[in-house]
């Protein structure tokens, strides 16, 4: 909810990117919140906010809200029929894609973690509240 309030309060365009599953994902949609949590824990869907107003405070505009991945990507992917179909049709390709997905999830989180740690000195005008 915090992200929605921040987006609404921003004096300009705001964008919220949300994960929206459908029946084709192949799991019981009544378990959607649980599946979304698994997705975040796998690192495939890191939670973050970007707010340029944080620059005036000397903070990084990117704020990473999710913790480092703690669930293997394969555990998430095995919960959805759409991925199990690939495993059944071409097991070798599935293994390659699984390894690449795990590596990409870890790399993406590491990059976001670095970006969230960048502190940018506030502009004198921004700090004084006189920027346009």
- pLDDT given at position 125: 60
What are phi and psi for residue 34, nearest 5 degrees?
-65, -45
- pLDDT given at position 124: 66
Could you state, in order of their start, the residue ranges of all structural domains in the chain? 2-123
* Average pLDDT score over residue span 89-94: 95
Residue pLDDT, tens place only, 25-56: 888 889 889 999 999 999 999 999 999 999 88
* 110-119 burial: b if 16+ Cβ within 10 Å, else e: eebeeebeee
Question: From CA 27, how far away is CA 32, in angstroms rounded?
Answer: 8
- pLDDT given at position 126: 52
Task: Identify whether the C-beta of residue 53 lies closer than 8 Å to the C-beta of residue 10.
Answer: yes
């Amino acid at each position: 909810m915090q992200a929605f309030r921040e987006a609404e309060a921003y004096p300009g365009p705001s964008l919220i990117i949300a994960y929206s599953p459908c029946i084709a994902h192949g799991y019981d949609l009544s378990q959607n919140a649980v599946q979304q949590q698994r997705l975040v824990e796998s690192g495939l869907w890191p939670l973050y906010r970007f707010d340029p107003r944080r620059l005036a405070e000397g903070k990084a505009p990117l704020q990473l809200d999710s913790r480092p991945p703690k669930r293997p990507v394969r555990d998430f992917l095995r919960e959805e029929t759409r991925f199990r179909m690939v495993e059944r049709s071409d097991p070798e390709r599935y293994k390659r894609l699984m390894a690449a997905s795990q590596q990409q999830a870890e790399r993406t989180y590491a990059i976001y973690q670095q970006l969230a740690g960048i502190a940018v000195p506030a502009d004198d005008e921004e700090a004084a509240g006189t920027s346009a």
